[in-house]
Structure formats: C-alpha cells, structure tokens
Amino acid sequence: MNALCVFCGSSSGTKPEYAALARDLGVLLAERNIKLVYGGGRVGLMGALADSALSAGAQVVGVIPQMLLDKEVGHSGLTELHVVETMSQRKWLMGELSDAFLALPGGIGTMDELFEAWTWSQLDLHRKPCGLLNFQGYYDPLVAFLDRTVEEGFLRPRHRAYLLVDEELPRLIERLASH
C-alpha cells in the first residue's frame, strides 16, 4: 500500500484520546512510508493527523472543495493540496489517489465518505479495501447495525466482509496493506 485515504472528524471529539489516535496514525504512516490522502483540513482530527504525518516525514495530500477553503479550514502546509468544486469530486479524487480507505472516529461526514467508498467496492468500481477503526468501541452501535442489515437481508455477507473492522490501529493497517 503506497497511499491511504483516511476519513476522520473535522472536530476533535470529546476525548483527548481521539486526537492522540490521529497523531499516532500520522507517525505510523510515516514509519511505513505510506502517503496520507485526506480531506485537506487543518482542524479537528484531520488537522492533528496531517500535522503529525508531516512532522514525522510522511507525504500528505489534501483534497478540499473550494467552499471549505473559503471558510479558511484548509491546511496550508501540505505536500499537495487539490482544490475541487464539490464534495462528490473530493471523494472521487481521494479514492483515485489512494490504495485503501480507513475511517477513524468522526461524524456524518466521515460516515458519508466511508459508506460511499465501501459502496464503490460493492458496485465493483474499485477493489480497494475499506477499514473501520473501532477505537474504544466508538463504532460498536454501527457495527451491530451493519450486522443486522445482513441478518435482515439488506446487505449480502460478502459485501459486509468488504469492510474490515478492527480495534487495533497497527493490525488494521496491516490488514489493509495485505488485502
């Protein structure tokens, strides 16, 4: 895996452990010489992740819509910053620039990005692995819901298996890299 697309919160959340997790991922990516592709923000978990990756020597590529750049939330110190017109273009370009997808804790924007990338795999638009880091049980209710969608016949088991879920960051990175 040469480039990992990471989806995460533009907020830092209520626990300092979330920002620490984002910083740990930035260092891990640099240690493994994996380029970070993300939403281009300088705030929240996105900013913590990008700053950490840059400080540790990783290449960091941001993709941000002009409307968010106009709100002054764009990161100005990245290796590359791509400015696009729409959120849909943002997601597509992040996918094009990446070999795999990973979601850290976040809100509905994070879910939107992850679910679209995962749907693309279901539709055979790509064969890139998608990962969900269930840090400290943050996504337990979501994982239970996804399992229920299989039980109720709305999601095929093989498509459910396209989303790799793990509680341990290094192990999930390994699973994504070996997919």
Per-residue confidence (pLDDT) for residue 27, from 0 to 100: 98
Per-residue pLDDT of 131-154, as tens digits, reads 999 999 999 999 999 999 999 999
What are the tens digits of pLDDT across the range 68-90?
999 878 999 999 999 999 999 99
Which CATH topology does 3-171 take? Answer: Rossmann fold (3.40.50)
DSSP 41: B
Report the greatest alpha carbon distance in the chain: 47
pLDDT of 73: 86
* Distance from C-alpha of 132 to C-alpha of 120, rounded to nearest angstrom: 16
* Angstrom distances, CA of residue 95 to CA of 7, 42, 128: 11, 20, 9
At 98-133, the pLDDT tens digits run 999 999 999 999 999 999 999 999 999 999 999 999
Q: Helix or strand or coil: residue 119?
A: helix
Measured N-to-C along each axis, helices 87-96 and 108-122 cross at an angle, to the nearest 10 degrees, of 60
User: Model's pTM, two decimal places?
Assistant: 0.96
